[in-house]
């Protein structure tokens, strides 16, 4: 029988038997030669030598030593961990917090920024538009195109032979009212708000997405406008609204005023082409009218090629033999040809140069488009750094714990080294123990991370203006698990290696001789500085984190106190869309006027007005201008921001008029259009001149308009608290310079805004029943909504600061307890010789505070350096914000006092007699 196939145990037994038989035979020979039986037995055994060593060396020849050692170490490690549940629990929990926090942030980072789209071969995809651009632009652009118009997409699609496929998708994700019909099964007749994405026919085919049920639509839906009222729904939609009932296929739902038939379901992990969005329903782009009624976004703009409506993202799949660079060059040739054929006599001499200077920046599209990259990219990376620091603190804590335990096991190690264990072998074993501990912590940490991530997303979403605005599928994937594994190994090295090296230092005789380590002092004293150094590092890192938290809290407070330039209290805003209601041109303006009159008649209002862009409503207008009496310098851009406002806008909003008057009723019909400029405009274009009466011309090609300045208003923040106010021109809404598709009403109430909501809705309905239902927002809510990223970062950095402080205080407590415990005899002697208890207490406390002081001294410069790096995220803070540093130092001092107090108290309570007898 082949020896090799036997189990290890059997082989060991056989070896035993073999060696025994050897001894027996040797004894027989010796006896035959005349030795006595006992003498022969002794001689034979002696000749054999060290029996167990012999067996071990022989077993080595069987190979697999490395693996065996690992198993043995693991089993031994598990036993050690089980025998010390207190140590294991604390260490594992600390590690779980550190590793868990890192995994949580990384998995958000991964989902938001790193993961590829859940489609077939995402590396073959490219984006022709700007993946961070969303919404719609009306007008023209130079340079790299952010978004495209539908007619432009059609041209590219029909004239391209270099992509395997090209598709377009709406760059926004509107919330639309959906009625699930009134059949019995499922949810009958219920209306809800769903997110709808318009896409072209081969969207699913090019992405390579197969339906989970039913079928996807194809290029046949691109033929006729309004001809394919079919829809593909998301898996979540199917599950939540219909409980995965297959009868949903073929059912009709009503989106706004059009009925759609559900033909298919997308697979569960598919969320579309934009990271951060998760549409409920996909419908063909040719059905655009149903989603954006009253507008034609598919035909070329009748106002000329310089007044395009650009609103779609375009992506394509590369052909295998045409790489990205080549595809980019070639598609730009096609694009240029399109621009040239579109331009022509409709433009003056200067315009073509700007118009033809447009390009398609073709980028790799494996990550698709993103609503998160722009806003959350830097904050997430910053949070990763913070959370990495927390991990360092956690590792330092565990390292100290391991050191302390190692000291207790000194004798065990000394013994083992004395009987011949190699130092490397011991270190390997200790590292295996540490690895086990780390894996334990990592396992708990991953569970913690999953829970924390759900919480995190909820916090982030709540802070956003629209609940559910941030949609991320946090499915742990290989990359996240790989990251966790890497972090676990790293933490093991960090907290396991140094203690292992220290604890196995061969200084054996004092250890073996003495009953306690503390008395002889040598090994302890050498180890203590390491423990203290670790605590100092912990304190330093805590300082950095606390300072960071403090800075963000401070920055956020400053941001929310920024003077908007107008009064945000008790102000309601809602948008009314004239084109959606079927109004065009002057009829729209008249409708706005009527509605304003009706609203002003509502009792209990302090004021009501209307404007085109509203405030903090993600809307902005701008045009090139010419100013009377102002000669532009060479290469100076003559642009201004614009807005159209109704009468009494400035007084209703609380924007002070610095010169002249505000826009009033008389401007609705004046022959010469009156306009108001803001302070920045006056300072820049009328530096030493009275601007009243001067003329400004909007020089946008194809839509020139004139106006005369009648007043100067103070600056106001339009869309962001951080923005630098541009020069702005306010034109009368009721005598507009161009057609206003939509307008935003601002209504100021006396008290609780919500009491007026019903009256407002009624006013809108009475003015025109064709207008879609309005969504009412409060000004305060909108402004807060703009701070969602800042608040997110502030909350998290605050949480990490607290976590760091907690861990550091545990570390402090631990090291001081250990110090006190190891010095019990000294303290006892001192007390016995007459020292005051208070002195002992104070001395220990002093030591604690000294550690904290050193840590703070090290941490503050680090914090200052770090602040410099993240200045871009902070608002209005100087280089060294003393408040934050003071705050951090005070908090830490308090924490140190508390953490150090208990050990200090215990030290002072030491009974000298007990201490003197203490081993």
Partner 1 sequence: MAKQQYRNRIELLQGTLDLMILQTLQWGPQHGYGISVAIRNRSGEMLQVDTGSLYPALHRLEKQKWVAAEWKISENKQRAKYYRLTAAGKRQLAQERSRWQQLTEAIGGVLNSAKNETEP
Q: Where does this chain bind partner 1 (CB under 8 A)?
A: 1-4, 14-15, 17-19, 21-22, 24-26, 28-29, 47-50, 53-54, 57-58, 60-63, 420
Closer residue to partner 1 (CB): 5 or 879: 5
Cβ-Cβ contacts under 8 Å for 591 (sequence gap 6 or more)? 578, 581, 583, 767, 768
Which residues touch 481 (CB under 8 Å, ≥6 apart)? Answer: none
| Contact in structure between 608 and 599 (CB atoms under 8 Å) | yes
| CA–CA dist 113, 111 (Å, integer) | 6
Structure tokens at 510: 């004092």
User: In the complex with partner 1, which residue's Cβ is closer, 30 or 318?
Assistant: 30
Q: How far is the CB of 17 from partner 1 (least distance, A)?
A: 7
For residue 905, give both structure tokens: 């108290």
Min dist CB 430 to partner 1, Å, is: 21
Nearer of residues 60 and 340 to partner 1, judged by Cβ: 60
Measured CA distances, 97 to 93, 190, 494 (Å): 6, 44, 16
Task: Select 25 or 586, whichever has its Cβ closest to partner 1.
Answer: 25
CA 812 to chain centre: 32
Q: Taking the complex as a whole, how short is the minimal distance between the CB of residue 427 and partner 1, in angstroms?
A: 18
Nearest to 264 by CA among 297, 306, 292, 233: 233
Nearer to partner 1, 33 or 633 (CB): 33
CB of 62 to partner 1, least distance (A): 6
What's the min distance (Å) between Cβ of 58 and partner 1? 5
Exposed/middle/buried for 432, CB within 10 Å: 0-12, 13-18, 19+? buried
**24 vs 329, beta carbon nearer partner 1:** 24
User: For residues 15 and 657, which CB has a smaller minimum distance to partner 1 in the complex?
Assistant: 15
Give the shortest CB-57-to-partner 1 separation in angstroms. Answer: 5
910: alpha, beta or left, given left = phi > 0 and alpha = psi -120 to 50?
beta
To partner 1, the closest distance from the beta carbon of 855 in angstroms equals: 46
User: Quick check: 55 and 19 in contact, CB under 8 A?
Assistant: yes
d(CA 8, CA 398): 37
Give the CA distances from residue 502 to residues 87, 91, 505, 917, in Å, rounded to whole numbers and listed in that order: 19, 19, 5, 29
What is the distance between the alpha carbons of residues 507 and 520, in angstroms, rounded to a whole number? Answer: 12
Smallest separation (angstroms) from partner 1 to the CB of 53 = 7
User: Quick one: 70 or 421, whose CB is closer to partner 1?
Assistant: 421
Shortest reach from residue 74's CB to partner 1, in Å? 24
Smallest separation (angstroms) from partner 1 to the CB of 35: 16
Closer residue to partner 1 (CB): 49 or 603: 49
Q: DSSP strand E in 477-595: where?
A: 571-577
Residue 4 or 872 having the CB closest to partner 1: 4
Give the Cβ contact number of residue 349 at 10 Å: 6
Cβ pair 603, 590 in contact under 8 A: no
State the nearest-atom distance from the C-beta of 69 to partner 1, in Å. 16
Q: Which is nearer to partner 1, 9 or 82 (CB)?
A: 9
Buried b (16+ CB within 10 A) or exposed e, 845-863: bebbeebbbbbbebbbeeb
- Strands 175-179 and 191-199: what pairing? antiparallel
């Amino acid at each position: 029988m082949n020896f090799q196939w036997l189990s290890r145990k059997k082989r060991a037994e056989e070896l035993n038997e073999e060696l025994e038989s050897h001894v027996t035979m040797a004894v027989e020979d010796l006896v035959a030669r005349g030795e006595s039986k006992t003498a022969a037995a002794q001689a034979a055994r002696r000749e054999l030598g060290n029996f167990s060593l012999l067996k071990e060396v022989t077993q080595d020849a069987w190979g697999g030593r490395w693996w065996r050692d690992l198993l043995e170490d693991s089993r031994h490690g598990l036993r050690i961990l089980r025998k010390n549940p207190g140590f294991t629990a604390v260490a594992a929990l600390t590690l779980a917090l550190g590793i868990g926090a890192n995994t949580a942030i990384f998995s958000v980072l991964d989902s938001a920024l790193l993961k590829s789209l859940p489609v077939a071969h995402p590396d073959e995809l490219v984006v022709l538009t700007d993946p961070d651009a969303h919404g719609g632009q009306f007008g023209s652009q130079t340079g790299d195109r952010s978004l495209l118009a539908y007619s432009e997409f059609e041209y590219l699609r029909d004239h391209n032979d270099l992509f395997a496929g090209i598709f377009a998708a709406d760059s926004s994700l509107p919330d639309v009212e959906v009625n699930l019909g009134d059949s019995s099964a499922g949810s009958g007749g219920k209306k809800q708000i769903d997110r709808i994405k318009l896409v072209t026919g081969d969207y699913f085919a090019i992405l390579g997405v197969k339906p989970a049920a039913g079928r996807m639509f194809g290029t046949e839906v691109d033929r006729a406008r309004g001809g394919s009222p079919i829809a593909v729904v998301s898996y979540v939609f199917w599950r939540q609204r219909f409980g995965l009932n297959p009868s949903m296929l073929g059912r009709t739902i009503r989106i706004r005023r059009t009925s759609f038939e559900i033909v298919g379901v997308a697979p569960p992990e598919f969320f579309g082409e934009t990271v951060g969005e998760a549409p409920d329903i996909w419908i063909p782009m040719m059905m655009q009218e149903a989603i954006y009624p009253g507008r034609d976004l598919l035909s070329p703009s009748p106002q000329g090629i310089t007044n395009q409506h650009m609103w779609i993202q375009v992506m394509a799949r590369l052909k295998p033999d045409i790489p990205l660079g080549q595809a980019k060059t070639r598609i730009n040739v096609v694009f240029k040809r399109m621009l040239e054929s579109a331009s022509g006599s409709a433009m003056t001499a200067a315009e073509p140069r700007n118009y033809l200077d447009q390009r398609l920046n073709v980028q790799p599209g494996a990550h698709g488009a993103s609503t998160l990259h722009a806003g959350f990219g830097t904050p997430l990376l910053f949070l990763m750094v913070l959370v990495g620091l927390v991990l360092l603190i956690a590792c330092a804590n565990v390292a100290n714990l391991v050191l302390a335990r190692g000291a207790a096991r000194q004798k065990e190690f000394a013994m083992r080294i004395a009987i011949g264990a190699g130092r490397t072998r011991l270190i390997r074993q200790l590292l295996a123990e540490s690895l086990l501990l780390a894996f334990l912590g990592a396992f708990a940490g991953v569970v913690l991370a999953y829970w924390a991530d759900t919480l995190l997303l909820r916090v982030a979403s709540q802070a956003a203006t629209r609940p559910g605005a941030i949609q991320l599928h946090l499915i742990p994937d290989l990359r996240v698990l790989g990251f966790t594994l890497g972090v676990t190994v790293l933490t093991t090295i960090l907290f396991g290696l140094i203690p292992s090296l220290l604890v196995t230092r061969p200084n054996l005789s004092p250890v073996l001789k003495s009953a306690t380590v503390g008395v002889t002092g040598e090994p302890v004293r050498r180890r203590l500085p390491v423990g203290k150094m670790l605590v100092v590092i912990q304190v330093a890192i805590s300082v950095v984190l606390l300072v960071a938290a403090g800075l963000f809290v401070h920055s956020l407070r400053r941001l929310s106190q920024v003077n908007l330039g107008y009064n945000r209290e008790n102000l309601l805003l809602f948008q009314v869309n004239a084109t959606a209601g079927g109004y065009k041109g002057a009829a729209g303006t008249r409708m706005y006027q009527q509605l304003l009159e009706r609203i002003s008649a509502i009792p209990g209002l302090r004021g009501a007005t209307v404007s085109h862009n509203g405030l903090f409503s993600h809307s902005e207008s701008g045009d090139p201008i010419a100013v009377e009496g102002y000669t532009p310098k060479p290469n100076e851009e003559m642009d201004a921001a614009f807005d159209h406002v109704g009468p009494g806008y400035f007084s209703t909003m609380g924007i002070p008029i610095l010169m002249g008057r505000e826009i009033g009723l008389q401007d609705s019909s004046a022959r010469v259009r009156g306009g108001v400029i803001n302070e920045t405009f006056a300072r820049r274009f009328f530096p030493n001149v009275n601007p009243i009466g001067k003329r400004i011309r909007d020089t946008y090609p194809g839509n020139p308009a004139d106006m005369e300045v009648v007043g100067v208003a103070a600056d106001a923040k339009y869309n962001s608290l951080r923005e630098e106010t541009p020069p702005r021109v306010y034109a009368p809404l009721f005598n507009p310079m161009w057609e206003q598709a939509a307008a935003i009403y601002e209504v100021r109430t006396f008290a609780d805004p919500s009491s007026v909501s019903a009256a407002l809705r009624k006013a809108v309905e009475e003015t025109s029943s064709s207008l879609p239902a309005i969504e009412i927002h409060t000004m305060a809510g909108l402004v807060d909504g703009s701070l969602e990223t800042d608040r997110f970062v502030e909350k998290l950095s605050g949480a990490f600061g607290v976590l760091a402080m907690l861990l550091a205080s545990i570390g402090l407590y631990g090291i001081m307890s250990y110090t006190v415990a190891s010095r019990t005899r000294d303290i006892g002697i001192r007390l016995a010789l007459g020292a005051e208890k208070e002195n002992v207490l104070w001395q220990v406390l002093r030591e604690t505070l000294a550690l904290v002081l050193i840590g703070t001294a090290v941490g503050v410069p680090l914090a200052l350096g770090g602040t410099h790096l993240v200045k871009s995220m902070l608002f209005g803070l100087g280089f060294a914000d003393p408040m934050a540093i003071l705050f951090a130092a005070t908090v830490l001092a308090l924490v140190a006092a508390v953490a150090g107090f208990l050990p200090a108290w215990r030290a002072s309570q030491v009974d000298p007699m007990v201490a003197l007898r203490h081993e």
